[in-house]
Chains A and B, each alone.
Chain A
């Protein structure tokens, strides 16, 4: 299951990053790494992008980018 499949309110654990290069690096640099617990807070009014909470801070990310984050539900 990938991050972009999750509805607002669901919590998950990051399993793997499938993105390479820039997107992968950026995800890691912003604190998304395997084993991390996070929560989908909301979608933007037009559905895209989505907002996440991880470790007490908030990130927004487009669905097309969230697709590359494999997660499992908690």
Chain B
């Protein structure tokens, strides 16, 4: 057996432990969760056992192998075309009958099979006593009992796999007897097997069964490979009708029912009858968890806890991790060329911008880690399907799905979420249309990064109604998400597949620490790998758009003269001063940097001791500079200090003016200005435009850019006062329009990438960015132009809009859903 290679596929119904088996075999750490449909695409890994190198493919869980759902098509086409040398059919021992239904279908496909009868521990706990030898005898394939979570039966499984993969002969498969259908099957098989190609590549009986079931993919096979497809297909259609009229039953029904009948007989003969069936613990728990009144209460509690632990407590942790990131920044800074008096080297400003952008995202990692850990607990415990069960009624009305609950919670259904994990967790929603509707609307919820702008606006323009204004902005997003989801499902998503809700409610499990931590780490890693790289690129692009083309030579010359004048003035003032010799030539810039560093260090130092330590350090570094910075009683030093302070603030002013002029003049600034004629109806001037454009990389930067645009006139003046002063014409109505636009702001780069990953198409990513822009502009225009025309105040407009949104939400809730199900 040495040096042999094998391809192994894991197949089975959802939630029976395939991924757990996969991890046990390969030592990998794949997504495992206690709800059906976690693995939606196939995953690969490999291991070596007793000289055999085995490539393992974890297929998505499927209840059956028809061609209705994408997962079933993926699994089926893998089994047919990749010809695995062994297929491990993982089955749930506590639920044998239903799992045999799939086992039969696998056997019909003629693949070499090992049945892994998993969850033996659960079966034992429920007093289900299975005679696995008898089962193996009846099925004609090896049956290995395992409780793979505890590692039980792993070795036997390895051995069984090797012996099936190593043996050449394919065993005579067990046949389900389809009774009155059998003659039809034989006839159909004979009909198409006259053509050699098909029967060589595909098991004849299987193809006959699929054709009589009316399976689309099987018909396609005939069309592609048969020489006279039209004739064959017509023959089959006639046979189908003949059967239906004779037996008053659709052929596909008859086939499914026959499988269940055989499964029932086999499972009865292999399971010793139980003494008494007691009510399982999970059901007793559900009596409380899904209770009419307690259920929703518990749900609110769970959601609150999720928020509290991740967003609130996670945010507190960032207080400790932020200094680490700041440290990274300052270390980077120390390697960069020092800034000049008024011109900062490009490498420096670009690198720092880059680090700042990345840091802004890295700062979320503690929050994400806790969040992902908690989600893993929810997933493992089995609470997720209950959440879906409780809320499906509401979400279903708006074209969403019970399982949209978690993504919505993560996206920030009240205030403070993040669209990235929200979109990421849409994967489990089984109905395609609802999944798309959820993915597309999540970015409209209130992510953490939108909050600073809200706070800024509310503090300036709604200062007297802070509470109500905050409530408005926190809840309005949901009132827009629901109708928008509904509208999307009725329009662009109209043709997406829907699927029935029918969902298994798995028994509760106790999550394992290892599983939970593993998954949290893994998801954070995905975030870092997939998101941060692209954000880095976009950050650079935005930087370039904000910095270039830069100042004209003329303006540069102007600023140079200004600089020279300020410096000359300074030297003149200290001409006779003994300290003047310390600040000649290059030393002047050194003092500027020293001064800056000292001020920063002093600001960071908390308490008397720390402050005096800073003093000692700077004194040792440069005693003469220190005396200038801290002149105490030294008269001459004092006058240098005074003159220098003036010079220092003159420099700051110049820097600020340059920065502003650069942005004014930049590509982004020009775009912002070019848009002003249109955006003015929404109440946005060009500065607001620029800050909105710059927010695309990450919304946090909206406030930062506004900060740069509304320069400080007085040291330490807050942005609130600056904006108020800088924008005399700005009213609460402007602010409201801006806030609502922010609610509807297109997904940030990170989220857009997630949308692309989850929808699999760039098209949808672009759509997810385009429609919020249109919608946001409409809403902002409605607020601003409409409000102005009606002479409403900001508060009145706010109330009016809230009522409108509420009415639309309730109204759209009554429109009937059109489903494509039946």
Chain A residues with CB under 8 Å of chain B are: 17, 19-31, 33-36, 41-42, 44-49, 51, 53, 55-62, 64-65, 68
Contacts and interface: CB of A to CB of B under 8 A. Distances in A.
Most buried by B among A48, A55, A56: A56
A34 B500 CA distance: 19
Nearest to A36: B260
Interface stretch (B342-350, B390-398, B408-416): B390-398
A4 to B, nearest CB: 13
A44 B95 contact: no
B63 A29 contact: yes
Interface string B488-525: 00000000000111111110000000000000000000
A20 B392 CA distance: 23
Closest 10 CB pairs of A and B: A29-B64, A29-B63, A46-B393, A58-B505, A28-B256, A31-B98, A48-B393, A62-B501, A45-B295, A23-B500
B245 interface: no
Contacts of A65: 500-502, 821
B822 A45 contact: no
A28 B260 CA distance: 9
B813 interface: no
B111 to A, nearest CB: 19
B501 A31 contact: no
A33 B283 CA distance: 23
A46 to B, nearest CB: 4
A29 B396 contact: no
Given A22-B499, A31-B260, A68-B822, 8 more contacts: A19-B821, A25-B66, A29-B63, A30-B98, A41-B286, A56-B95, A61-B502, A62-B392
Contacts of B501: 49, 60-62, 65
Contacts of A31: 97-98, 101, 260
A65 B819 CA distance: 11
Contacts of A35: 257
Contacts of B68: 21-22, 25-26
A26 B98 CA distance: 13
B502 A45 contact: no
Nearest to B385: A60
A22 B396 contact: no
B822 A55 contact: no
A37 to B, nearest CB: 11
Given A28-B253, A44-B393, A51 B505 contact: yes
Contacts of A55: 95, 97-98
A16 B594 CA distance: 86
A41 B280 CA distance: 13
B438 interface: no
Contacts of A57: 95, 98, 504
Given A26-B499, A29-B63, A45 B292 contact: yes
Contacts of B385: 60
Nearest to A27: B502
B441 interface: no
Q: Which of A17, A20, A23 has the most CB of B within 10 A?
A: A23
B95 A25 contact: no
Interface string B322-351: 000000000000000000000000000000
Contacts of A20: 250, 822
A42 to B, nearest CB: 6
A30 B389 contact: no
Contacts of A48: 392-393, 396
A58 B402 CA distance: 17
9 contacts: A25-B64, A27-B502, A45-B390, A46-B390, A51-B286, A57-B98, A59-B504, A60-B501, A62-B501
A45 B290 contact: yes
A45 B505 contact: no
A25 to B, nearest CB: 6
B296 interface: yes
Contacts of B646: none
A74 B292 CA distance: 26
Contacts of B504: 30, 57-60
Contacts of A22: 68, 499-500, 821-822
Given A20-B822, A49-B392, A60 B63 contact: no
Interface string B784-821: 00000000000000000000000000000000000101
B85 interface: no
A45 B97 contact: no
Contacts of B389: 44, 49, 51, 60
A17 B253 contact: yes
Nearest to B821: A23
Contacts of B394: 46
B126 A49 contact: no
Interface string B296-313: 100000000000000000
Given A48-B393, A58-B283, A26 B256 contact: no
A49 B97 CA distance: 25
Nearest to B394: A46
A38 B707 CA distance: 65
Interface in B53-100: 63-64, 66, 68, 94-95, 97-98
A33 B256 contact: yes
Contacts of A59: 502-505
Contact of A45 (B63, B256, B277, B293): B293
A43 to B, nearest CB: 8
Contacts of B821: 19, 21-23, 65
Nearest to B294: A45
B108 interface: no
B291 interface: yes
B217 interface: no
A23 to B, nearest CB: 5
Contact of B252 (A25, A30, A51, A62): A25
A74 to B, nearest CB: 16
Nearest to A43: B292
A69 B495 CA distance: 26
Given A44-B393, A45-B292, A60-B389, A26 B94 contact: no
B290 A51 contact: yes
A20 B98 CA distance: 21
B396 to A, nearest CB: 7
A49 B397 CA distance: 12
Contacts of B503: 59-61
Contacts of A53: 283
A41 B396 CA distance: 21
Contact of A60 (B253, B257, B287, B502): B502
A58 B282 CA distance: 10
Interface in B240-273: 250, 252-253, 256-257, 260
Contacts of A56: 94-95, 126, 277, 280
Contacts of A46: 390, 393-394
A68 B505 CA distance: 21
Contacts of A45: 290-293, 295-296, 390
A33 B390 contact: no
A34 B256 CA distance: 10
Contacts of B500: 22-23, 26-27, 61-62, 65
Interface in B373-412: 385, 388-390, 392-394, 396, 402
A22 B95 CA distance: 23
B443 to A, nearest CB: 27
